[in-house]
């Protein structure tokens, strides 16, 4: 016969919370995959890129990277009047759709323009006509 003591109630509560957290994590990961670049899925990738290019801030960031080459996130966001956290969110979105790639050099996050992604978008758009 099992007794409903305090330790058993805590164990059951802990297991339920862990199960709910895992379900939430799985759902979040699935939603993130929907809005992430997928190799070979040209239609989805093009729609994601067009969605990312819908913001003037992100277009300005891409223009600066295309013209000036690789630069730090601080240098990239300075003339746009963005704080680093806001710039990081914009770069994360651009990186998720492969328009930009980033890497860290010490404490500095460097951003690089991805020409292949733009060529893929252009190729997909020309096939529509």
All structural domains of the chain with their residue ranges: 1-34, 38-128
H-type alpha helices, the chain: 6-34, 42-52, 56-68, 73-77, 84-96, 115-128
- Mean pLDDT value of segment 66-73: 90
CATH architecture of structural domain 38-128: Orthogonal Bundle (1.10)
Could you read off the pLDDT of 71-106 as tens digits, one per residue?
999 999 888 888 999 999 999 999 999 999 999 989
Model pTM score: 0.75
Is 40 a residue whose pLDDT tops 90?
Answer: no
- On whether the CB atoms of residues 11 and 18 are closer than 8 A, the answer is no
Residue with tokens 């930009």: 100
Q: What is the pLDDT of residue 1?
A: 65
Predicted local distance difference test score (pLDDT) of residue 127: 86
Place of tokens 């292949």: 116
* 129 has a pLDDT exceeding 80: no
Q: What integer best gives the mean pLDDT of the chain?
A: 90
């Amino acid at each position: 016969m099992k007794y409903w003591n305090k330790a058993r109630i805590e164990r059951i509560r802990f297991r339920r919370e862990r199960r709910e957290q895992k379900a939430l994590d799985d759902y979040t990961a699935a939603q993130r995959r929907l809005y992430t670049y997928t190799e070979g899925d040209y239609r989805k990738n093009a729609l994601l890129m067009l969605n990312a290019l819908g913001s003037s801030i992100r277009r300005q960031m891409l223009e600066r990277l295309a013209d000036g080459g690789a630069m730090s996130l601080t240098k990239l966001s300075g003339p746009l009047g963005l704080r680093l956290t806001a710039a990081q969110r914009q770069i994360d979105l651009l990186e998720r759709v492969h328009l930009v790639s980033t890497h860290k050099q010490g404490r500095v996050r460097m951003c690089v323009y991805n020409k292949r992604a733009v060529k893929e978008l252009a190729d997909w758009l020309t096939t529509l006509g």
